[in-house]
Amino acid sequence: MSEKEDRYLWLENLEDSKVKKWFSKRNKASRELLKAMSAKLKPRIEHYYSLPYALMVRTSSKGHFVLMREKGKFKIKLITSDGVKNELVRSSDLGKDVVLQRIYASDEGERFAFSYSFGGSDEGILRLIETQSGEVVDELKGVLSDIVWLDKDRYFYGRFYQKEKTPDGVAPPAMRIFLRQDREDSMVFGKGIQTSHFIGLAKSTMGSKALLTVSYGWTKSDAYAGRLEDPQDWGLVYGKGDFMAWPVGYLDGKYLVASFDKAGLGRILAVNKNKKAREVVEEQPYPLQEAVIFRRQDCPQLSL
């Protein structure tokens, strides 16, 4: 279309007083038109927004730790096996415009951690709490994630560097994994991993292995793993290609890995200690979204 045919081309000059006047007039008309509808919808929206909504659940021997949004506020509740609900944390007690972001719980439930920020900022505070007493036993600041307990007093966590370099000198944005004990930190994983790579940390279902995903953007990631208590043992399990791969868990001496290295829909591989991979779940007609290992203690061993 030529300039002569485009009768609205003059509106592209946002500094023109005529353009500002045109926008102001139509903005006023739009508000008047939508005013009645907004007034009608507002009570309905407020009603649904106030309903209790579970954002995250962490399970422990003590019960389920649930992060909830309720009537515009965030709360953390412990729901025991007999259905008793104990309110542990309220965002309103922490300050104005506080958003509770994530929760973590130890296996026994003796301690839990939660992160929060003001106004939903990425940078915030992570607090470690004694469940029974409510005492704050540790506190960290920054952009933090993925608490994994070794025992009551030691845990791993991830730190995201968005402004400063990592301890090993890599420019932001970047992530590193630390061991926290006696209120002191030591970097245990991530050395040399380059800018714009992110690290996710979790623990295997049976608790013996650390599972790590090192990702670059939304199209590439590698699966790492190793003995939970020995970060020196954490190493590449599968990946290093132009595809996504992430660890599912550890079963019968093999790591299970979700890999998108074929048509991109996803399959499950069993990788042995020699890094030899064997397909155990082939690609399906629909994309693989999640995979978990579930096995009760009294079930027989599953052969891969």
Write the pLDDT tens digit of every residue in 142-174: 999 999 999 988 999 999 999 999 999 999 999
Q: Is residue 300 part of a domain?
A: yes
The set of long-range contacts for 268-275, using a CB threshold of 8 Å and a minimum separation of 24, is: 269/238, 270/304, 271/237, 271/238, 275/237, 275/238
Is there a domain that residue 30 lies in? yes
Query: For the chain, how far is it from start to end, CA to CA, in angstroms?
Result: 63
Q: Is 229 exposed, middle or buried (0-12, 13-18, 19+ CB in 10 A)?
A: middle
Task: Tell me what pLDDT residue 212 has.
Answer: 98
Task: Give 77-125 pLDDT, tens digit per residue.
Answer: 999 988 899 999 999 999 999 999 999 999 999 999 999 999 889 899 9
Domain that holds residue 284: 204-304
- Given the DSSP bridges, would you call strands 245-251 and 63-70 parallel, antiparallel or unpaired? unpaired
User: Is the pLDDT assigned to residue 301 strictly greater than 70?
Assistant: no
**Per the structure, how many domains does the chain have?**
2
- pLDDT value for 8: 85
Please tell me the pTM assigned to this model.
0.82
Output b/e per residue, 184-215; b: 16+ Cβ within 10 A: eeeebbbeebeeebbbbbbbbbeeebbbbbbb
pLDDT bucket at 71, cuts 50 / 70 / 90: confident
In a domain? residue 111: no
| Residue 293 counted as domain residue | yes
Residue 82 lies in a domain: no
Is the per-residue pLDDT at 74 higher than 90? yes
| Residue 301 included in any domain | yes
Beta bridge pairs of residue 22? none
